[in-house]
Amino acid sequence: MKAFIEPIGRLINRLTKLPGVGAKTAQRYAYKIIDMSDAEAEELAEAILRVKKEVKYCKICGNFCEDEICDVCKNRKSDIICVVKEPKDVVAIEKSDKFNGRYHVLHGTINPMEGIGPNDIRIKELLERLSKESVSEVILATNPDVEGEATAMYIAKLIKPLGIKVTRLAHGIAVGTDLEYADLGSLSRAIIDRREI
Amino acid sequence: MKAFIEPIGRLINRLTKLPGVGAKTAQRYAYKIIDMSDAEAEELAEAILRVKKEVKYCKICGNFCEDEICDVCKNRKSDIICVVKEPKDVVAIEKSDKFNGRYHVLHGTINPMEGIGPNDIRIKELLERLSKESVSEVILATNPDVEGEATAMYIAKLIKPLGIKVTRLAHGIAVGTDLEYADLGSLSRAIIDRREI
């Protein structure tokens, strides 16, 4: 006797495609979905289909949007552009409420091991924007990993000759972390980038 | 600027209906769904809709099934019936591979605090089966919590006069647990129910 009848087995299998979801968790989710009202389950299924249909990428900055142009590009006047790897990084920065400029989403970082070169991400589009728009500063907010750093260096080299200020997000000990628990990388960076008070 | 555009916000909201999924996890799942191919996302949505449409309950035992009668009731000849609270308990016991009898799913346990009495769960159906089918033993496999124990006691009182053997699953220290880490309830039970070797 197989453990699950076909529709349940199929749903469990599909749910394991979600990040960090193994067979046990998928099983829990599947039971919950079986117990949902028809309306609730339909709403969930519809939300999945609609997100695929309705989420587009802004023609200017590459951020998530519903139309051609995203809300940030439509409504914000600023001469600072923050360059990030993915649209979800925009969400993270927006939540911090400390940045009021515009964005440019690269949709990837340079990664020779996986065959991703400078032409595979939206660097050309960034340079085009810089030649048309009035921009005083570009913040390179790619992740502090090997690919993110390399991409930031690459873009910095292209932009600096244009006379535009190029900055990088500060890295150091995470706020709230005790010294003894800080990872070596963050601690080294915090010492190198120490600032006068 | 709101953090999420409408379709993403809606999907995150729907995903938090899954058990143990908070806003952060729902956000991770939503990003993954956005990154899925259209086909993958459609398969997930369809699996959700189909599980609601295709999962029915067996007319005899109350287990999950696709037709009128479940595979166990169709294919197994046995005079032992295992009584469980929910269909997912059948899955758990089937996985153990130690039971080869039939089942009866109560779809609940007696719970006066929530207004669930003996007539609200499938006890009547169990008694009907016992009067028609040839049954030599009923295993009461409800959970070892207050409601499960009370329900087992209630059913045992009804069945014993019929001359049918009534048993309960063994409870004790979980296999693999060291004595010092065993919870008090399990340890007490293990001492009371100790067996001769």
What is the least distance, in Å, from the CA of A160 to any CA of chain B?
31
In a shared domain, residues B141 and B50: no
In a shared domain, residues B95 and B46: no
The minimal CB distance from B7 to the residues A34, A51, A94 is found for A51
pLDDT of A1: 55
What is the rounded distance in angstroms from the CA atom of residue B69 to the CA atom of residue B62? Answer: 9
Render pLDDT for B103-115 as a digit per residue (tens, 0 to 9).
Answer: 999 999 999 999 9
Which whole-number Å values give the CA distances from A89 to A86, A169, A185, B149, in the listed order? 5, 13, 21, 51
Report CB contact under 8 Å: B50, A11. Answer: yes
Q: What is the mean pLDDT of residues A44-59?
A: 95
In a shared domain, residues A106 and A16: no
| B8-26 CB burial, b ≥16 within 10 A, e <16 | bbbbbbbbbbbeebeeebb
Global pTM reads: 0.82
- B124 C-beta neighbours (distance < 10 Å), count: 10
| Closest-approach residue (CA) in chain B for A65 | B5
In a shared domain, residues B105 and B168: yes
Report CB contact under 8 Å: A32, B47. Answer: no
Report CB contact under 8 Å: B29, A19. Answer: yes
In this structure, is residue A105 part of a structural domain?
yes
pLDDT of residue B44 exceeding 80, the answer is: yes
The minimal CB distance from A49 to the residues B15, B42, B64 is found for B42
In a shared domain, residues A88 and A47: no
pLDDT of A183: 86
In this structure, is residue A59 part of a structural domain?
no
What is the rounded distance in angstroms from the CA atom of residue B38 to the CA atom of residue A52? Answer: 7
Task: Find the distance separating the first CA and the last CA of chain A, reported in whole Å.
Answer: 71
Q: What is the mean pLDDT of residues A36-54?
A: 96
In a shared domain, residues B100 and B186: yes
Q: Which residue of A29, A48, A75, A94 is the best one to mutate when testing the B interface, meaning the one whose CB has the most B CBs within 10 A?
A: A48
In a shared domain, residues A118 and A170: yes
Report CB contact under 8 Å: B20, A28. Answer: yes
pLDDT band at B191 (very low <50, low <70, confident <90, very high): confident
What is the least distance, in Å, from the CA of B111 to any CA of chain A?
19
In a shared domain, residues B83 and B50: no
The minimal CB distance from A51 to the residues B8, B20, B95 is found for B8
Report CB contact under 8 Å: B50, A10. Answer: yes
Please say whether the beta carbons of A66 and B7 come within 8 A.
yes
pLDDT of residue A47 exceeding 70, the answer is: yes
Report CB contact under 8 Å: A44, B95. Answer: no
At B138, which amino acid appears? V
pLDDT band at A82 (very low <50, low <70, confident <90, very high): very high
What is the least distance, in Å, from the CA of B8 to any CA of chain A?
6
For residue B62, give both structure tokens. Answer: 């109350």
In this structure, is residue A68 part of a structural domain?
no
In a shared domain, residues A87 and A139: yes
What is the rounded distance in angstroms from the CA atom of residue B119 to the CA atom of residue A30? Answer: 28
In this structure, is residue B69 part of a structural domain?
no
The minimal CB distance from A48 to the residues B3, B11, B71 is found for B11
- Degrees, nearest 5: CA angle A45-B7-B39: 50
Q: What is the mean pLDDT of residues A41-63?
A: 95
Render pLDDT for B24-39 as a digit per residue (tens, 0 to 9).
Answer: 999 999 999 999 999 9
In this structure, is residue B61 part of a structural domain?
no
pLDDT of residue B1 exceeding 60, the answer is: no
The minimal CB distance from B51 to the residues A8, A28, A75 is found for A8
What is the least distance, in Å, from the CA of A50 to any CA of chain B?
7
In a shared domain, residues B31 and B98: no
Which has the minimum average pLDDT: A1-5, A144-148, B42-46, B181-185?
A: A1-5
Please say whether the beta carbons of B34 and A52 come within 8 A.
yes
pLDDT of residue B116 exceeding 90, the answer is: yes
pLDDT of A36: 95
In a shared domain, residues B86 and B133: yes
Average predicted confidence (pLDDT) for chain A: 92
Helix (H) or strand (E) holding B192: helix B184-192
Render pLDDT for B75-95 as a digit per residue (tens, 0 to 9).
Answer: 998 999 999 999 999 998 988
Report CB contact under 8 Å: B46, A47. Answer: no
In this structure, is residue A103 part of a structural domain?
yes
Render pLDDT for B134-155 as a digit per residue (tens, 0 to 9).
Answer: 999 999 999 988 999 999 999 9
The enclosing domain of B44 has a CATH number of 1.10.8.420
pLDDT of residue B176 exceeding 90, the answer is: no
What is the rounded distance in angstroms from the CA atom of residue A108 to the CA atom of residue B170? Answer: 56
Beta pairing partners, B138: B81, B166
The enclosing domain of B144 has a CATH number of 3.40.1360.10
Q: What is the mean pLDDT of residues B169-177?
A: 85
pLDDT of residue A174 exceeding 90, the answer is: no
Q: How many domains does chain A have?
A: 2
- A115 vs A184: which has the higher pLDDT: A115
In a shared domain, residues A137 and A98: yes
Per CB-CB distance under 8 Å, the chain B contacts of A34 are 51-52, 55, 64
Q: What is the mean pLDDT of residues A77-90?
A: 93
pLDDT of A58: 95
pLDDT of B52: 94
pLDDT band at A137 (very low <50, low <70, confident <90, very high): very high
In this structure, is residue A156 part of a structural domain?
yes
What is the least distance, in Å, from the CA of A197 to any CA of chain B?
33
Q: What is the mean pLDDT of residues A164-174?
A: 89
In this structure, is residue A96 part of a structural domain?
yes
pLDDT of residue B193 exceeding 60, the answer is: yes
Report CB contact under 8 Å: B52, A33. Answer: yes
Enclosing domain of residue A39: 6-54
Please say whether the beta carbons of B82 and B118 come within 8 A.
no
pLDDT band at A96 (very low <50, low <70, confident <90, very high): confident
The minimal CB distance from A48 to the residues B17, B33, B94 is found for B33
Report CB contact under 8 Å: A3, B94. Answer: yes
